[in-house]
Every structure is written in C-alpha cells, then in structure tokens.
Amino acid sequence: MTIKDKLTAQLPEWRERMRRLVKESGDVKVDVFTIAQVYGGMRDVKSLVTDISYVDPNEGIRFRGYTISELLEKLPKPIGADMPYTGGLYFLLITGEIPSAAEAEEIEKEWKGRGKVPQYVFDMIRTMPSDTHPMTLFSMAVLAMQYESIFARKYAEGMKRDTYWEAMLEDSLNLTAKLPEVAAYIYRLKYKDGKFIQPDPKLDWGANFAHMMGVPDKKYQDLSRLYFLLHSDHESGNVSAHATHLVGSALSDIYYAASAGLDGLAGPLHGLANQECLKWLLDVYNKYGQVPTKDELTKYAWDTLNSGQVIPGYGHAVLRKTDPRYTAQLEFGKKHMADDDIFKLASLVYDVVPEVLRQQGRARDPWPNVDAISGSLQYHYGVKEFDFYTVMFGVSRILGVSANAIWARALGQPIERPKSLTTPMLEEIGEKIKVA
Ligand SMILES: CC(C)(COP(=O)(O)OP(=O)(O)OC[C@H]1O[C@@H](n2cnc3c(N)ncnc32)[C@H](O)[C@@H]1OP(=O)(O)O)[C@@H](O)C(=O)NCCC(=O)NCCS
C-alpha cells in the first residue's frame, strides 16, 4: 500500500470524527484565557489541533503517540546503522503507523526519484552576496521551487476540494526529497571550496545529507538521521509550525508555507538558539583553556545570569523536565565522543546549571532543551559553522510541518482568522471584571 492509499483509507473516519465532534460538542469551551495571555504571545492558549505530535510538559514530545526512545527502537534502520531511516519517520508522521522496513524504503525510493534540484535554484543561490545568511538562502531556495508546485497549478485549473490533500502530498514529497541537497549545496558553497558533492544513490536521505556535506566520519550519517528525527516536529504552537500552518491556511502551497516557517525558525528566540548554546560553551572553554571544574563552571553560570543574560539551552516554554531530545543526543555523544572536550563540557553543564537556575528562581524550567547539546555534536564532526545549524533544523522541521499541512488540507481546515481587540477594549473588559 502506498502512503497515498493509506491516507485514502484513513480519511473517511477522521473526517467523520471531526464532523461529529463539531456537530455534537461544537459549543463546548476548550479554554478561557486572560488579558495577560492576549498580551503575552497567546502562551498556553489551547487553540490549535494536530495529531502528529504532542508535547507533554513532564514527558516531552511524542510523535504519533510514540516517545523518542520508542521510535529509536521501533522505526526501521538501514543495514549497519544505529539510527532509523528518515523515510520511515516521514511515513509515521504522515500515516500515524510505524512502517515496515519495506514501507520506509519505499519513501526513501520516492525521495530518490524526486530529488533532482532544478538548476535555477543553484543559479539563484550563487547570485546572492557571498555573506548572505544561509537561512536566507535556504528559505529563498524553498520559495523559488514554488514554481514546481502541483497544488498551485491544479488549483488554478479548478481542482476539486476534497482532492487538495493529494496535491499537497505530491508537493510535500517533492519538496522534502530535495532538502538535503539544497542544504548541503549551501554549506559547500559558503564554507567549503564551493565544490558540490553529488548525492550517492546507494545512501538513504539522512546519510546522503552527511555524505554531501563532505563529513568523512561515517558516524555522522547516524547523527544526521538522529538530528532529523529529533527536530522534525514539536506540536503546532511553535513559531515555525504555526507560521507554516497560518500561511498554508490561506491555501498557499507548501513551498510558500514552509518558506514562511523557515523565516520564523531563523529568529534568535527559536531555531537560532542552538548556535547561541555552542557559542556559550566555547566561551567557557576558551576562558579556562580546558574543561573547567564544577566550581569554575558554577561561577561562570552565575556571572552570565548576573550580567542579565540567559543561559542558552536551558528552560522551555512548555516542558518542565529534561527534554528527551536532549537525552537522546547526550546518549549519542557518550557512545561516540566521550573524550571530546566540548561534549564533556556540555555534559558538565547539565550537572551544574539546573541547580544554579533553581537557586536563581526565575526560570520555570531549569532543565536542558534540545539546543543545549546539538551544536557540540556537530562541532565534534567538524561542522563548526554555527550559522548553518538552523538550516539543518529547517531541513528537519519541514518534515513535520508538511505532514501537518497534508492533514490540514485533508480535513479541510479553514483559513485562520483570530479576532483582535484594541487596548481601550481590553481596559474596559479589565474594569468590568474588577467591578464585578
Ligand atoms: C526557552 C525560553 C525562551 C522559554 O521562555 P519562557 O517560557 O518565558 O520561560 P520562563 O517562563 O521560565 O521564564 C521566566 C523567567 O526566567 C528566565 N529564564 C528562563 N530560562 C532562563 C535561562 N536559561 N537562563 C536565565 N534565565 C532564564 C526568563 O528570562 C524569565 O525572566 P523574566 O521574568 O525576567 O522575564 C527561556 O527559557 C530561555 O530564554 N532559555 C534560553 C534560550 C534557549 O535555550 N532557547 C531555546 C528554546 S528551545
């Protein structure tokens, strides 16, 4: 059964569940929210729906109901690899089912058939100023490929509404197929000799990225597969996911929508945080010229806080425990680079910083998030160009947001249109409640 057949089989039941819920319980209140939340970035307002992933405050992410450790165990792996096929992950995100090895390989095969990046994308990248940020180039490349959109073409021809998702699936497979090559091209152009390494048809999607980056250590293939799994989705309220959904809700195709999501990911409060973390670790390391002692690190952490800065990689808007995406990377590091100084330092920070943040008493979550360690693993394999890390995050995140976009079309999710109020209106609401 192809991925399209699977969705075709599942859709009637999902559409019926949604229809019944809205018909029978459409008036039921899900949440009430406060003026502080209206001004405060809609934090915690329960107003989005996705079945692709869910972040439990105490447990962290589940993709389609599975924890990260369950996924690392259950998803099929290429022969000789420790980490699963990204194609199998994409199958799971879209269909909700753990694929067989053959099903995971089928997605990998689809990707190979659709992977050729149009020459105009490379030409466009090359015409940009050489110090353009790699995220700008990456987002531009995704947007440029909108030219290829099947959804946009069929929509203009008058496609039937209940088949929108089929065009979205086609576009999503076409787009995701090309991401490793586009990203690696940008990397080689900006940071290496500009000579592009051709994809190896024998390698899977994640391993091919590692190969085209030019990293010789074969373990980097596993790290790439792990990285792409961990960063793919984080429910729907984060900036990249929400921006993609919002733009897609106007029936913009996945190229427009994903490019918008990448633009959000480029922000310092979102995807850019991983490079801040590595920078902080390297600053510590350079100050002491070696891995510092626990006491030295404690002092450094307090100095950072006392100078009014945050300790990057620690804290989370939703989570209240160590991010399992952090733990998965820590385990990888312990296995493959236990003697690497920067990795050792990142592990030591885990022993020191939560207690410092607890004593300071401001952060609601003193535990590490995904960004606290990802940079140090990349650094170990020689990918030391911080600016590029968000591009890898983007490669991965498009897997999740496109899976969501396919389902948003399949369930006919409407254009987003929240209501805004003026400050005097909110003042009036505040006054009325006070009087009451
Ligand atoms: C992730 C983050 C943005 C979440 O923000 P949040 O939901 O507002 O977090 P909280 O509600 O716990 O913040 C309460 C206070 O603790 C502070 N705080 C949170 N994490 C902190 C950290 N790692 N170091 C220092 N202070 C921190 C906040 O700045 C805030 O201070 P304020 O009251 O002066 O505004 C925040 O924890 C942070 O800035 N962490 C460091 C950057 C980072 O790792 N980003 C990647 C996110 S995946």
What is the 363 CA–ligand 1 centroid distance (Å)? 6
pLDDT at 34: 96
What is the 106 CA–ligand 1 centroid distance (Å)? 42
Mutate to test the pocket of ligand 1, among 277, 311, 314, 369 (most ligand atoms within 8 A of CB): 314
Residue 353 Cβ < 6 Å to ligand 1: no
**270 is a catalytic site residue:** yes
In 96-149, where does DSSP find H-type helix?
101-114, 119-127, 134-144
The Cα-based distances of 52 to 7, 61, 165, 363, 404 in angstroms read 14, 10, 16, 28, 7
Residue 313 Cβ < 6 Å to ligand 1: yes
332/321 Cα distance (integer angstroms): 19
Residue 368, amino acid: P
Query: 198 with 420: CB under 8 angstroms?
Result: no
What is the 61 CA–ligand 1 centroid distance (Å)? 19
| Residue from 316, 323, 336, 365 carrying the catalytic annotation | 316
In 96-218, where does DSSP find H-type helix?
101-114, 119-127, 134-144, 150-157, 164-191, 205-213
Q: Where is 293: in which H helix or E strand?
A: none
The Cα-based distances of 72 to 81, 192, 225 in angstroms read 11, 32, 10
Cα 150 → chain centroid: 24
Which residues of the chain have a pLDDT value below 50? none
The predicted model scores a pTM of 0.96
188/134 Cα distance (integer angstroms): 11
**316 is a catalytic site residue:** yes
| Residue from 242, 270, 336, 380 carrying the catalytic annotation | 270
The Cα-based distances of 435 to 32, 36, 82, 426, 431 in angstroms read 19, 18, 63, 14, 6
Query: 208 with 199: CB under 8 angstroms?
Result: yes
14/411 Cα distance (integer angstroms): 8
| Residue from 171, 233, 253, 371 carrying the catalytic annotation | 371
105/179 Cα distance (integer angstroms): 18
pLDDT at 341: 97
Mutate to test the pocket of ligand 1, among 272, 349, 364 (most ligand atoms within 8 A of CB): 364
Residue nearest to atom 19 of ligand 1 (CA): 363
pLDDT at 76: 98
Residue 91 Cβ < 6 Å to ligand 1: no
For the chain, how far is it from start to end, CA to CA, in angstroms? Answer: 61
151/171 Cα distance (integer angstroms): 7
The tens digit of pLDDT for each residue in 268-314 reads 888 888 888 999 999 999 999 999 999 999 999 999 999 999 999 99
Residue 310 Cβ < 6 Å to ligand 1: yes
Phi/psi of residue 368, nearest 5 degrees: -70, 145
Residue whose entry in the numeric block shows the structure tokens 């633009």:
263
pLDDT at 224: 98
Query: 97 with 6: CB under 8 angstroms?
Result: yes
pLDDT at 190: 96
Query: 247 with 256: CB under 8 angstroms?
Result: yes
52/64 Cα distance (integer angstroms): 5
Q: Where is 54: in which H helix or E strand?
A: strand 53-56
